[in-house]
């Protein structure tokens, strides 16, 4: 399969390049960056931390999409929305890891996914996708006397909060309880907040250093506490999931899918 990488000079873009270049059965069709990014013109092998491959980063996403069967993109919400439209026009599969989309951007993404195969997941690692199922199960089992709090920490460069993964964990917990996350989420607390409402799902966010991604879900009950956590120490876990998703798209019909379907944790039609 010919796979292209959009946002190829970013933290995830370089990791995705490396994963594509070192996975058997896939070929790198190219890499694209934001016009004006200093990496444009640089060798893609070197951006990946490998030997030069004689192929340079470009800034023409449409040309990359035409040369690819699937593209992997971890960039910004705005770029992702522009690029999913290009993928839909050319029938190229789009694997998206970008987080921080607004509800309107999410609706637009869904519209484009009617015309091509799109996999969009806030976290492409196997571990977090297993954790989502565990959190839903524990939340379904415990009564609302157990307070649910979601803690996350990421590197100092991260621009969106709470992380896409933390919000997905919140949605999983809410699903387990049979409620809508928006109705119960406490996304910020400051000052005299009053006592914690029963049934709230709280979020706490830390940013610092080079933390790849830590998530912890706390179920705090009377006299005991259950904690489920995922600690990422290598971005390769996300890139591995992204390449697996790209290969999976080859046998799918147009539509919006998640990692649960890619990993076989949920049927693709369900």
Ligand X SMILES: O=C(O)C1=N[C@H](C(=O)O)C[C@H](O)C1
Ligand Y SMILES: NC(=O)C1=CN([C@@H]2O[C@H](COP(=O)(O)OP(=O)(O)OC[C@H]3O[C@@H](n4cnc5c(N)ncnc54)[C@H](OP(=O)(O)O)[C@@H]3O)[C@@H](O)[C@H]2O)C=CC1
Beta bridge pairs of residue 213: 232
Give the residue from 118, 128, 110 showing the smallest Cα distance to 169: 128
The reply on whether position 258 binds ligand Y by CB under 6 A is no
Give the residue from 70, 61, 69, 19 showing the smallest Cα distance to 37: 61
Chain residues 148-207 in contact with ligand X, contact rule CB under 6 A: 154, 158, 163-165
Least distance in angstroms from the C-beta of 38 to ligand X: 21
> Does the CA dihedral 42-48-54-56 come out positive or negative?
negative
Is residue 158 part of the annotated active site? The answer reads yes
Is residue 112 part of the annotated active site? The answer reads no
Site string for ligand Y, 228-247 (x = CB under 6 A): ----------x---------
Residue with tokens 């996914």: 113
The reply on whether position 81 binds ligand Y by CB under 6 A is no
76 among annotated binding-site residues: no
Nearest to ligand Y of 164, 176 (CB atom): 164
Residue 89 near residue 134, CB atoms below 8 Å: no
The reply on whether position 68 binds ligand X by CB under 6 A is no
Single residue of 64, 124, 166, 174 touching ligand Y by CB under 6 A: 124
Q: Of all residues in the chain, what percent are helix, strand and coil, respectively (each to 5)? A: 35, 25, 40
The CA radius of gyration of the chain, in Å to the nearest whole number, is: 19
User: Which H or E run contains 53?
Assistant: none
- In the set 154, 157, 215, 230, the catalytic residue is 154
7 among annotated binding-site residues: yes
1 among annotated binding-site residues: no
Single residue of 4, 5, 7, 139 touching ligand Y by CB under 6 A: 7
Residue with tokens 């709090």: 149
Chain residues 105-134 in contact with ligand X, contact rule CB under 6 A: 122-123
23 among annotated binding-site residues: no
165 among annotated binding-site residues: yes
CA dist 39 and 175 (Å) reads 42
Single residue of 31, 122, 162, 202 touching ligand Y by CB under 6 A: 122
Which residues of the chain form contacts with ligand X (CB under 6 A)? Answer: 99, 122-123, 154, 158, 163-165, 213
């Amino acid at each position: 399969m010919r796979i292209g990488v959009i946002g190829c000079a970013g933290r995830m873009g370089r990791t995705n390049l490396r994963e594509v270049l070192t996975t058997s059965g896939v070929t790198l069709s190219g890499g694209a960056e934001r016009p004006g990014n200093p990496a444009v013109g640089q060798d893609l092998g070197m951006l990946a931390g490998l030997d030069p491959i004689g192929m340079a980063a470009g800034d023409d996403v449409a040309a990359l999409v035409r040369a690819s069967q699937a593209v992997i993109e971890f960039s910004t919400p705005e770029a992702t929305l522009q690029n999913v439209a290009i993928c839909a026009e050319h029938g190229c599969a789009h694997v998206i890891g970008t987080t921080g989309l607004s509800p309107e951007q999410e609706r637009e993404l869904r519209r484009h996914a009617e015309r091509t195969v799109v996999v969009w997941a806030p976290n492409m690692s196997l571990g977090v996708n297993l954790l989502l199922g565990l959190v839903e199960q524990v939340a379904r089992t415990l009564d609302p006397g157990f307070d649910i709090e979601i803690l996350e920490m990421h590197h100092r460069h991260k621009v969106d909060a709470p992380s896409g993964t933390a919000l997905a964990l919140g949605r999983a917990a809410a699903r387990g309880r049979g409620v809508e996350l928006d109705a119960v989420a406490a996304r910020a607390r400051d000052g005299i907040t009053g006592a914690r409402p029963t049934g709230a799902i709280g979020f706490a966010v830390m940013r610092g250093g080079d933390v790849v991604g830590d998530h912890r879900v706390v179920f705090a009950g009377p006299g005991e506490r259950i904690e489920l956590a995922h600690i990422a120490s290598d971005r390769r876990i996300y890139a591995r999931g992204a390449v697996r998703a790209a290969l999976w798209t080859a046998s799918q019909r147009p539509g919006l899918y998640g990692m649960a379907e890619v990993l076989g944790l949920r049927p693709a039609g369900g």
